[in-house]
Structure 1
Amino acid sequence: MKKAIPFLAFALILMGCNNSKEKDNQNKTEEQMTNSENPLLSESTLPYGAPDFSKIKDEDFKPAMLEGIAQQQKAVMAIANSEEAPTFENTVIALEKSGMLLNRTAQVFYALAGANTNETLQAVEEEMAPKFAAINDEIYLNEKLFLRFQTLYNKKESLNLDAESLKLLEEYYEDFEIAGANLSAEDKEKLKDYNSRLATLTTKFGKTLLDANNAGAVTFTNKEDLAGVDEDFLKSKESKDGKGWTIPLQNTTQQPLLQSMDNRASREKLFKAAWHRADQGANDTQEIIKEIVEVRAQKAKLLGFNNYAEWSLQKTMAKTPENVNKFFNGLIPAATAKAQAESDEIQKMIKAKGQDFTLEPWDWNYYAEMVRKEKYDLDENQIKPYFELKNVLEKGVFYAAQKLYGITYKERTDIPVYQEDVKVYELFEENGEALGLFYTDYFARPSKSGGAWMDNFVTQSKMYNKKPVIFNVMNIPKPAGNEPALLTYDEVETMFHEFGHALHGFFASQQYPSLSGTAVSRDFVEFPSQFNENWALYPEILKNYALHYKTGEQIPQALIDKIKNSGTFNQGYSLTENLAASNLDMQWHMVSADKKIEDVNAFETDALKRTKVDTVHAVPPRYRSTYFSHIFAGGYGAGYYSYLWTEMLHHDAYNWFETHGGLTRENGQRFRDMVLSKGNTLELEKMYKDWRGSDPKIEPMLKARGLK
């Protein structure tokens, strides 16, 4: 997943930070901080301008970002109040260059705030959120500035701009209009208030949910309650006093351990802890949700739209909520029918095991695994020894990139990192030319947000002569001691997925940072990442990285066949849980400004029923509203559908590769040249069609899911 930053052209991610504090700085005020004392106030001297985490301290961020805001305010006012006639250079380029310090600092801060946060960073994040919203409004609601852009936009054909410069002008102008530049002065003030409130609320939601995830961890004191759970995993979760095992919660509704827990009562306990983590007590997010939804609806109405979804979808491939719902309607009947068939099959397995109870959500993965073993003779524990983390990354993910794009790598141990588990690699082109730096942060910890994501520390741009510095984050359970990190196949796919995002950023070749790499719409940005998952099971790649961690033996063909044969297993469940979450998102954001939500749970129940994704009793949504961080904290409001939309694109794209020779340098280079390197310089529909030769078709997706 690629997350999004709360202001300007950024993308909000989140990540860890060096928490050391120098005693001689503790008593100094922010105003006394000098460039020499605050490393963020000047560009890093490390290779590629990578953040120097050996120098950066928590207390550096706030003064650096405040100074960045002040610098940008000054620059924006100079552009807006200039007496010179507007030109592309003195208006568009000047604005593009106006936020260097703020952008550079915020990219590092939001990276750090997600993967290794603490009370200091959380307090800064909460305090700065409305300030970021305010500077965004100072730009896009500035009437004088907008008039300069409008003047240029209205005569764009006579400016003789190159294609990328013209696209930059058009993007800025559209952003001004979408942000409310045409509103009256009175309405602009209302909008500023809405934006400030939303910045505060979404930040609060993220913090509350992190606390809910940590507080919701389930402790078992009787080892019999954890029968069936892997011993190595239990070692890593044993309390220091040796009197129990604490199981942390993943962001999703279903929890990985439910697949192996023999004790039904324990499964129910863990599932309900996840289900109710944020709907009661100190970490209840329901009131925050109601206020976010209300303010978003009011904002949309002020901007002339019926609901927030209509406003939010303007610059996407889908364009309108009606198109998204039409897309859903083409999937829901087939998905729920397959899920019901799977449910019936699992219920038979329960009966065959001598049990007499109705299948519940906490039973699904446990008995589905039994069905999978029976039908496909595939046991997750059989395949995990072949998926050792470093092999998957270096001999799988990197190897696929070498075969397709000529990419090579070397590990860098001389680049400071923000947390001991983080690794750094330098990537190179086929001819040896430097491509950029790649950071990996794969292990879960309490200070890290749930899920997996990618973003930039440094964004590629020719204007600043910058190569990309990119990071990937996951939440793989860290093994105890020196035990190897063995991955599930889902985790393997996630690693390929996030590196697909990274490739999109590494191959960027844009003049302007605002158009660079992954700065595309939400319903396109997940396409390169999902497409990259296809190489995880590609024979040449799989056999190179799937090596037994003890013997070095290559994964046997029999196991490969089992993985492939089971590829469509449980896809009714998987698609239905995703559709349920996606529909929840759209339903929340199609609420009109005159409707007040009284009860979050009641709205959720009604929304699932209304969209007919609740017909299979034991299939809950992938995310409940109360812990749906994508849409209430992560920039995906009215955008979660994009994962399914881009799934359609990636299966269609892989179908092209299959019919054109598969994994070849020629195919990879063509895909890189025509898609991955283009950033947001072309209309995305045209970009895809030019490469593919046709519009995307949904049939390859249905076939891959076993629905056709």
Structure 2
Amino acid sequence: MLIKTRLALAISAGLLLAGCSKQPEQTQSNKVAAVETATIENPFFQQWNTPFGAPPFDQIETKHFLPAFEKAIAEHKKEIAAIVNNEQPADFDNTIASMELAGALLSRVSGVFFNLTGTESSDEMQALQRKISPMLTRHSNEISMNENLYKRVSTVFNNRNSSDLSSEQIRAAELNAEQIRLVERIHRSFVHAGANLTPEQRTELATINERISALTTEFGQNSLNDSRAFKLVLEESDLAGLSTAQRNAAAAAAKASGLPGKYVITLNRASVQPFLQFSERRDLREQAFNGWTKRGDNDNEFDNKTIIVEMVELRAKRAQLLGYKHHSEYVLSNAMAGTPETAMDLLLKVWEPAVVKAEQEREWIKEIMAKEGATHKLEPWDWRFYAEKVRKEKFNLDQGEIAEYFELENMLEAKFYVANRLFGLTFEERNDISVYNPVVRVWEVKDSAGKSVGLFFGDYYARSSKQSGAWMNSFRDQQKLAGDVKPIIVNNMNLNKPAEGEATLMSYSDAVTLFHEFGHGLHGLLSNVTYPTLAGTSVPRDWVEFPAQLFEHFIAQPEMLKKFALHHKTNEPMSAELLARIKQASTFNQGFATVEFTASALVDMAYHQMTEVKDLNVREFEDQVLSAYGKPEEIVMRHRSTHFGHIFAGGYSSAYYAYMWSEILDADGFDAFIEKKDIFDKETADRLYKFIYSRGDTLDYFEAYEGFRGRKPTTDALLRNRGLD
């Protein structure tokens, strides 16, 4: 666990990296000459005279990153040394604020590098990622375990309320609420990172951190490479059941793979999931399903099972070294839920009614299968296919029909419209800002007074160099300490790129995801705090999903669907009759979806509540955990362990439950608009901005929610929305 100062992204991202390779030795004179040349040519060492100081991607090359990291780390070490060696007594300005300002170059380099490792991966970038990992991990360990730095932080922490100081000292040391919050968070981060350990324990912890860093990178790269290796190549005769849009997307994927005239299904969710829903070829559905669920579990060079075992063991050991029972207790000690027991209580409250509903959905599916004369057993690769038939029979609703109304350009306009109605924001597309891939688009964001808020990058299409899924990140976070620093935010998705001239159609689920990630984006864009550690989305996992999930609700509202869900050919809005059918079917298959998600969360919690790891077999472990909870055998985990990047390549270990925790907040929170009978009610929107989107980590999360909602949250809306009440 690392110090969340301005270097936070750099160091925490460093924990996601791995490996080391030795470079050829150089003579000292050659080294000096090389450094001088690199400094002249390297864009990271120059002032960026670009709009908003955005990264000049047209100048940045892979070769620039290593010397940039080396120089940035060296500069940051000097800045930290200056703080430690300051002869003046430690106070907020010369210690905490100085730490916040330190590491500017490291943050700059990291903000670009770690965004590109997820979107423009290559063998060269992966090798570089493995080399940079131990550098950053060691650097972060040096800071978080620096005894003299911790002493200064502790002095400020102990004096934060000024109760033990003289009146003159109080006036000099008096801190506002945001400063006190920052001091407490930084002090907690030091303790969480092992500052109170003995020297021997700190050495052991540093070794563990570095190894976890290596494993994390290896896991993520294996998942990406194993996904790349799979392609289901189809002929025209294999496409029965697929819509024209799905066929076009498969043809475009084939062309991109050098297979013109063929059709390709990849393991991107936007490709494989519709295939599982609509393909009439059961044998091909089985191939696609097995490819999808066995990522990282193919007993090949990209297999992740041994990595999982070692990582779970190391996390348990680290937690116990720091005085916690297990990794879950360690993680949740700094979360809204507070304890693993609280998180598990939520999951089981949702799990039990979800299983009951899934069993009802299974009976409906079996009835359809019987009507069609199917004699085979219902298998996991059959569920989505037959669920669509049930949806059509019981609700006269076809997902393929719905997708005709969800076109990317209209959905972009829709999310910008909501941001304008709620917060007065406008989005002006900019074509004069350098991007890292031609498909990336950039908008300047302005407030209601026409003042610039920041930049928003949108990267919406899948490609072989890009990791799967959807996510928000930043090239730069908002802050005021170093001036009026505007955020530069990016949203990523993995939509199928259509054939040239065709519209980009998405499923309703994709549209919800688009809104979800934009909710994260707004959380970063609307941040209005002084200190970068507390800015934007720099909050616990079970709070950070709340603003994103609340924003999802807007696309489901009838007035939004009427305005923006326009048929991609006729431009006609959804009919009232279709809207009624969508609403009627809104909770269909939610048993399946809830079981699928919660199964992953339960396995996550089971791994990370282990106190001793012996003879762990990943496949057997998943089965044992979920069998004990009575999981229907026809439903698998949404993310099987071997490609569960949230917990083994990201920051959600023992925290995947956070999506469900946040759903309590977002479902209950959106009811505040419903109760006003106006989804853009100004008073409610103003409170949403004041207490949620603009606050970062400057306020206790329960206080923030009550400030917005006027009361504590309840689970009623969550259960109602999922049809589990």
Provide the TM-score with structure 1 as the length reference: 0.94
Tell me the residue number matched to 1:122: 126
For the residues of structure 1 that align with 2:640 and 2:112, how far apart are their CA atoms?
30
1:252-309 deviation per Cα after TM superposition (whole angstroms, max 9, x unaligned): 9973310011011111111111222311212111111111111111111111111111
Whole-angstrom distance in 2 between the partners of 1:28 and 1:208: 37
Partner of 2:181: 167
Distance 1:613 1:249, change over 3 A: farther
Which of 668, 677, 686 in structure 2 is aligned with 1:669?
686
The one of 334, 338, 344 equivalent to 1:315 is 334
Distance in 2 separating the partners of 1:474 and 1:43: 31
Instruction: Return closer, same or farther for 1:77/1:613 CA change in 2, 3 Å cut-off.
Output: farther
How far apart are the structure 2 equivalents of 1:184 and 1:475? 46
Q: Which moved more, 1:293-302 or 1:77-86?
A: 77-86
Residues 286-345 of structure 1, C-alpha deviation per residue, up to 9 Å, x if partnerless? 111111111111111111111111111111101111111111121111010101110111
Aligned to 2:473: 455
AA aligned to 1:346 is I
Indicate whether 1:152 and 2:156 are aligned.
yes
C-alpha deviations, 1:505-534, integer Å up to 9, x for none?
111001011100111111010110100011
2:28 alignment partner in structure 1: none
**Deviation of 1:662 (Å):** 2.6
- 1:100 maps onto 2:114 in alignment: no
Please list every run of 5 or more consecutive structure 2 residues that lacks an aligned counterpart in the other structure: 17-30, 163-172
Query: In the alignment, what sits opposite 1:539?
Result: 558
For residue 650 of structure 1, the aligned residue among 646, 666, 683 is: 666
Matches within 5 A, 1:128-207: 128-158=132-162, 159-207=173-221
Distance apart, 1:699 and its partner CA: 0.9
CA distance in 1, matches of 2:43, 2:666: 41
Q: Which residue of 2 aligns with 1:22?
A: none
Cα 1:178–1:483 shift into 2, 3 Å = same
- Change in Cα spacing, 1:6 to 1:100, as seen in structure 2 (3 Å) is closer
**Matches of residues 32-431 of structure 1 in structure 2 within 5 Å?**
32-158=36-162, 159-220=173-234, 222-230=235-243, 231-239=247-255, 240-242=258-260, 244-250=262-268, 255-279=273-297, 280-394=299-413, 396-431=414-449
Question: What is the distance in 1 between the residues matched to 2:300 and 2:66?
Answer: 31
For 2:109 and 2:576, locate their aligned partners in 1 and report how far apart those are by CA, in whole Å. Answer: 49
Aligned to 1:8: 8
Is the contact between residue 286 and residue 600 of structure 1 (CA under 8 Å) also seen in structure 2?
yes
Which has the larger displacement, 32-41 or 473-482?
32-41
Q: Aligned AA for 2:683? A: E
CA–CA separation in structure 2 for the residues paired with 1:29 and 1:266: 58
C-alpha separation in 2, matches of 1:253 and 1:393 = 21
Q: Secondary structure at the match of 2:472?
A: strand
CA contact (8 A) 2:144 2:195 kept: yes
Q: 1:62/1:529 Cα in 2 relative to 1: closer, same or farther (>3 Å)?
A: same
| Residue type of the alignment partner of 2:318 | K
Match of 1:508 in 2: 527
TM-score, normalised relative to structure 2 = 0.92
Distance 1:423 1:355 in 2: 47
Q: Corresponding residue for 2:538?
A: 519
Deviation, structure 1 residue 251: 6.0
Verify the 8 A CA contact 2:268 2:462 in the aligned structure 1: no
Q: Is the 8 A contact 2:111 2:475 kept in 1?
A: yes
Q: Distance in 1 between matches of 2:13 and 2:580?
A: 40
Matches within 5 A, 1:473-488: 473-488=492-507
Residue identity matched to 2:654: A
**Per the alignment, do residues 241 and 527 of structure 1 end up closer, same or farther by CA in structure 2, a change over 3 Å counting?**
closer
Bigger drift between 506-515 and 271-280 goes to 271-280
Is the CA contact 1:5–1:12 (under 8 Å) kept in the aligned structure 2?
no
Q: Residue 24 of structure 2 corresponds to which residue in structure 1?
A: none
Distance 1:511 1:590 in 2: 37
Q: 2:708 aligns with which of 668, 685, 691?
A: 691
* Alignment size in residue pairs: 688
Quick one: which amino acid aligns to residue 637 of structure 1?
A: S
* Distance verdict in 2 for CA 1:53–1:12, change over 3 Å: same
- Contact conserved, 1:258 with 1:362, CA < 8 A, in 2? yes
Distance in structure 1 (CA, Å) of the matches to 2:381 and 2:526: 42
State the 1:43 CA deviation.
Answer: 4.1
After the TM superposition, which of the residue ranges 661-670 and 565-574 deviates more from structure 2? 661-670
- Secondary structure of residue in 1 paired with 2:264: strand
CA contact under 8 A between 1:258 and 1:366: conserved in structure 2? yes
**What is the CA–CA distance in structure 1 between the aligned matches of 2:705 and 2:134, rounded to whole Å?**
37
Q: Please give the per-residue CA displacement for 1:74-96, whole angstroms capped at 9, x wherever unaligned.
A: 11122123322111111111111
Partner of 1:624: 640
Could you tell me which residue of structure 1 aligns to residue 170 of structure 2? none
- In 2: Cα distance, 1:429 partner to 1:370 partner: 46
- Cα distance change, pair 312–370 in 1 and its aligned pair in 2 (3 A): same
Identity %: 38
Alpha-carbon distance in 2 for matches of 1:668, 1:421: 33
Deviations 1:2-48, CA, capped at 9 Å, x for gaps? xx99973567599xxxxxxxxxxxx9986244443111123422122
Partner SS for 1:282: coil
Deviation at 1:455?
1.1
Q: 1:28 to 1:703 in 2, by over 3 A?
A: farther
- Given candidates 704, 714, 718, the residue that maps to 1:701 is 718
CA distance in 1, matches of 2:592, 2:5: 32
* Structural RMSD (CA): 2.0
Aligned letter for 1:285?
A: N
Counterpart code for 2:363: D
1:469 aligned to 2:482? no
Find the aligned partners of 1:33 and 1:529 in 2 and give their Cα distance. Answer: 45
Residue type at the aligned position of 1:31? V
Q: Distance in 2 between matches of 1:407 and 1:539?
A: 22
Query: Aligned partner of 1:146: which letter?
Result: Y
> Deviations for 1:639-689, whole angstroms, at most 9, x for unmatched residues?
111011101110010111111233223321221012110000011111111
The alpha-carbon distance between structure 1 residues 310 and 605, as it changes in their structure 2 partners (threshold 3 A), is same
Describe the SS at the equivalent of 1:330: helix
What residue number does 2:583 align with? 564
Contact 1:35/1:41 (<8 A) preserved = yes
Which moves more between the two structures, 406-415 or 534-543?
534-543
User: 1:577, 1:252 → 2: CA distance?
Assistant: 17
Change (3 A) 1:666 1:138: same
Residue 656 of structure 2 corresponds to residue 640 of structure 1: yes
User: Cα distance, 1:390 vs. partner?
Assistant: 0.8
Secondary structure in 1 aligned to 2:661?
Answer: helix
Does residue 584 of the first structure (1) align with residue 603 of the second (2)?
A: yes
- 2:457 matched residue in structure 1: 439
Q: Contact (CA 8 Å) 1:361, 1:618: kept in 2 or not?
A: yes
Any stretches of 5+ residues in structure 1 without a counterpart?
15-26
User: Structure 2 CA distance, aligned partners of 1:225 and 1:320?
Assistant: 50
Q: 1:6 to 1:444 in 2, by over 3 A?
A: farther
**Would the alpha carbon gap of residues 47 and 665 (structure 1) be closer, same or farther in structure 2, given more than 3 Å must change?**
farther
Task: Indicate the SS of the match to 1:56.
Answer: coil
Q: Deviations over 1:599-637 (max 9, x none)?
A: 111111112223x052x1111110110110110001111
